[in-house]
Structure 1
Amino acid sequence: MARKPVARDAVLDAFEELLIDVGERAATLDAVARRAGVSKGGLLYHFPNKEALITATLERLDRLAGEDLAAMADAKEGAAAYFIRSSLWSDTPMDRSFVAATRLAEVAHEEARRRFAAIQQHWLDLIGKDVGTAMAKAVLYMGDGLYFNAMWESGPSGNPGNRREDVEELLAAVERLRG
């Protein structure tokens, strides 16, 4: 009988899920191993401690944010419109990684906060090239507000269709900012 392989990504996914579902304190190594369906020894083979899991989670966030920033830079509609359109929960790896890392930042994990600040600055730089630096924060706050209001209203499993009209209204505002 073939054994289920111990996959590094499965362990990271389990840690991410626990961060989202129950927060950093409850995301213990034992809980991660259980959620991933691996032995604690299997987990420790890939991640010798919780800090190593956190580091890998933040590296994943950086990689996914880099991919998202590249897509934003290449968006035909412009960086500002891309940012607004992508500010609804769609259960993407980036969404899950972002919320999991937010849980780390909530408990004053300085490296998580530093990485968020860097990502935010990259967003601002790209949006600023599109609508001007004076309006970039307005667009950033529009997208953040859209994202967090949708989360408060319905959580990650909510229906983003309820916010499509909001997205269109914000995109119209972005066009006025460009004007």
Structure 2
Amino acid sequence: MTGARDRVLDAYETLLIDHGPGSATLDAVAAAAEVSKGGLLYHFASKDALVTGLLDRLRERSAADADAIRSAPDGAVAYYLRTSAPGGGTPGGVTRTYLAVLRISDGSSTGQEVRDALAVVDADAFAALRDELEDPVLAWLAQLVGDGLYLRTLTGTPLPPGLGVEDLLARMRRYLPAAEA
């Protein structure tokens, strides 16, 4: 069963994604989470605390995803690309939380805090890919390909007709011989 704190963060994510930051007032978040405003304030004493909670959630989910990248049976590169692609999905909701955080990335009071959290996500993935690929440039290339797929996921853009992630992985195997892509 989901606790009130997680329901509040889930509701905040939903409001940010579906309606933007302007709609994510404390009252709206409390109503969407089906908790009283006092219940929300018990977990998050202010809007800034709610933002911090969302950023903490992103960092936690990113760390868990990095562990999954490292332990993927078919290799880090294959996991990263498959879960970055439209429909691939990442366990633990990191994609959804990432999208919600992007919605608040241009807020003047939270901008640097958000950029710092997004930098942690980037560093987590790069470090996990580096565990598989000795060459940092190849690890970065693999990350950039995954990031491009991830952008398609976030924007709802499909892959080109007739091409899929397995086609991409097959080609990348030529360039990433150290990886079990």
Q: What band does the TM-score fall into relative to the shorter chain?
A: 0.7 to 0.9
Contact 2:152 2:159 in 1 (8 A): no
Post-superposition shift, 1:128?
2.7
Q: Counterparts of 1:58 and 1:163 in 2: how far apart (Å)? A: 36
With over 3 angstroms needed to count, the CA separation of the structure-2 counterparts of 1:164 and 1:66, relative to structure 1, is farther
Secondary structure of the 2:24 match is coil
Q: Counterparts of 2:171 and 2:122 in 1: how far apart (Å)? A: 21
Q: Report the TM-score, using the length of structure 1 for normalisation.
A: 0.83
With over 3 angstroms needed to count, the CA separation of the structure-2 counterparts of 1:74 and 1:42, relative to structure 1, is same
Q: Report the TM-score, using the length of structure 2 for normalisation.
A: 0.82
Q: Counterparts of 1:66 and 1:134 in 2: how far apart (Å)? A: 22
Which residue is 1:96 aligned to? 96
Which contiguous aligned blocks of 4+ residues in structure 1 show a shift greater than 6 angstroms?
160-164
Q: Counterparts of 2:56 and 2:44 in 1: how far apart (Å)? A: 14
Q: CA RMSD in A?
A: 2.5
Q: Aligned partner of 2:120: which letter?
A: A
5+ residue gaps, structure 1, are 155-159
Post-superposition shift, 1:69?
0.5
After superposition, residues 26-175 of structure 1 pair within 5 angstroms as 26-88=23-85, 89=87, 90=89, 93-107=93-107, 109-131=111-133, 132-153=135-156, 165-175=163-173
Contact 2:69 2:80 in 1 (8 A): yes
Q: Counterparts of 1:176 and 1:65 in 2: how far apart (Å)? A: 28
Which residue is 1:157 aligned to? none
Percent identical residues: 39
Post-superposition shift, 1:26?
2.1
Secondary structure of the 2:104 match is helix
5+ residue gaps, structure 2, are none
